[in-house]
Structure 1
Amino acid sequence: MRVHRSGTTLAGAALAALALLLPLGLSGTASAAQDPGTRQAIPPRGSAYMGMGVIAHDGQGSRPGGGFSTLAVQTEGVDVSGHQGNVAWSTLWNSGVKWAYVKATEGTYYKNTYFAQQYNGSYNVGMIRGSYHFATPDTTSGATQADYFVNNGGGWSRDGKTLPGVLDIEWNPYGATCYGKTASGMVAWIQDFVNRYRYRTGRDPVIYTATSWWKQCTGNSAAFASTNPLWIARYASEVGELPAGWPYYTMWQYTSSGPTVGDHDKFNGDLSRVQALANG
């Protein structure tokens, strides 16, 4: 608020006082004085999906390459959530998509109501598929969420068609970016999830994240690079820098505006490598 002064008047003093109070929120109308276009509504719990914060926080466009990140052949995949509803899997299969990941759970309070159609439908057309869990480290422990995930679609079997589960750990759509955790606290939470998932399934889960979030919220930890495959999010023509320790990515979510469903991905290798990951 800008106040024009023309001498000391009661009206001028009142306006000046109001200008001081509004930024502090003492008048009860400070938020209303802000441009509504600058405020973002908090979405309902359960509505998060893989890559929800990538465009807003990580942007789009080219970024210098990561050096050792790309192999010669890439295999197309997709990831879906309840937002896609019933998916036209045959259309995706005919377009060259060979693998898929389906959101199963979030926190310990949400299960994807379209999970059966998406998980079974992708399998039925011939895809190798798996499921993912959207992490909310501020609600319950990593082990508790791993159990919830495994109990509700996140398990694994050595059938040659089931990929290991994914921990989707990224920007918090419901509050503080790092879920109120320090870097060491976040690493401990992820380790808790990873350990429990391995205990329940015999597999190390894939970690889905973005380099910028990982740097900010884990301190760029390299603790998982030797055990957990990396699924990197970067909507650009190249992957760019990878989180610490990982010499290459296993999967790359490269766009949120692909055909049939928005989120399209590349597996860093040919179909035999997708099958190898499924077989453990």
Structure 2
Amino acid sequence: MNVIHKKRIRLFSVFLAAAALLMAFLLYTGVILFNNPSREIYPVRGVDVSHHQGKIDWDTLARQDIQFAYIKATEGSNFKDKNFQENFFSASRAGLRVGAYHFFSYDSSGESQYMNFISVVPLQQGMLPPVVDIEFYGAKKEHPPDRQQTKKELRILLRRLEGHYGTKALIYTTDKAYRLYIADDFYDNDIWIRSVFTEPALTDKRRWKFWQYTNREKLAGYQGREEYIDVNVFAGTEREFAAYPERPSAMP
């Protein structure tokens, strides 16, 4: 192998490395997204937010092809998101359909988590079903909590939420948590799946209702410490979304 050929190989290797680094940077910063769902197939889009997005201008956010917003309300037995009330009602006034979500704690009972959620989230006509977000945090991914105990407390929480709001709660989850705790069970509850690299394919061949396709989108209208925002699609038409869920939420 002559010297010129070796130099060409080195230059090509450097070029490939630089291209890979550039692509990784563009993906990390949200300039390029792994997923870009068809707007013809999935015309209904929405965001999910928490206090991490800071002060949100919902009128601005709603003008960016967004039809719904899920707002973090609670976590575990005691945590309440400080921005929930403002986000929930301001998003409604901006013309979005709104819902509230609860971050599930493996260390709290389903009953105590239910009480925390209903202490914050009102009954409102037309609201989206409540959501229980079950995923791993801290060391739980490496040391997953007991499967049967988790399912027991989750089932209590879901049943109590249905009784209060008059509609079955959604389950938001990741692929690993789905396989461990949800697959082949909880068939009465629609699934909201997080899959930011590929289109989701649930292991038990079940169909999902919402898909969080990216956590690296940048939209105008918020000024929190988190510069990115989660974006989701609904598995259905605009007409189907307007009628979702089929049973209206209970009202006082």
TM-score (norm 1): 0.67
Distance across 1 between alignment mates of 2:144 and 2:202: 24
Mark the CA change 1:156 to 1:268 in structure 2 (over 3 Å): closer, same or farther: farther
Gaps of 5+ in 2: 1-27, 220-227, 248-252
Letter in 1 for 2:70: Y
Q: Considering Cα pairs closer than 8 Å and 6+ residues apart, tell me whether 1 or 2 has the greater RCO.
A: 2
Q: Which amino acid aligns with 2:233?
A: K
Q: Does 1:89 align with 2:46?
A: no
**In structure 1, what is the equivalent of residue 204 of structure 2?**
244
Number of residue-to-residue matches in the alignment: 205
User: For each residue in 1:181-219, what CA deviation from the matched residue of structure 2 results, as whole angstroms up to 9, or x when unmatched?
Assistant: 32222221211111111122221100000122222x32x
Q: 2:169 aligns with which of 198, 205, 208?
A: 205
Quote the residue 2:94 is aligned against: 125
CA gap 1:143/1:244 in 2 versus in 1, 3 angstroms? farther
8 Å contact from structure 1 (residues 136, 172) kept in 2? no
Distance in 1 of aligned mates of 2:141 and 2:238: 35
Q: 2:213 aligns with which of 227, 233, 254?
A: 254
Deviation at 1:115, TM superposition (A): 1.0
Q: Percent identity among equivalent residues?
A: 27
C-alpha distance 230-156 of structure 1, shift in aligned 2 (>3 A): farther
Deviations 1:69-93 (A, max 9, x none): x993331100000101111211221
Assess if the C-alpha contact under 8 Å between 1:222 and 1:245 holds in 2: no
Question: Normalized against structure 2, the TM-score is what?
Answer: 0.74
* Match for residue 78 of structure 2 among 106, 109, 130: 109
> What is the DSSP-based 3-state SS (H/G/I as helix, E as strand, rest coil) of the residue aligned with 2:244?
helix
1:146 aligned to 2:102?
A: no
Q: Contact 1:147 / 1:196 at 8 angstroms: preserved in 2?
A: no
State the Cα distance separating 1:179 from its structure 2 match: 7.2
3-state SS of 2:200 partner: coil
* Cα distance in 2, alignment partners of residues 178 and 206 from structure 1: 25
SS of the equivalent of 2:140 reads coil
CA distance in 2: counterparts of 1:257 and 1:197, whole angstroms: 30
RMSD of aligned alpha carbons: 2.4
Q: Find the aligned partners of 2:163 and 2:47 in 1 and give their Cα distance.
A: 27
Residue 101 of structure 1 and its aligned partner are, at CA, apart by: 0.2
Structure number with greater Rg is: 1
Q: 1:5 matched to which residue of 2? A: none
Match of 2:135 in 1: 170
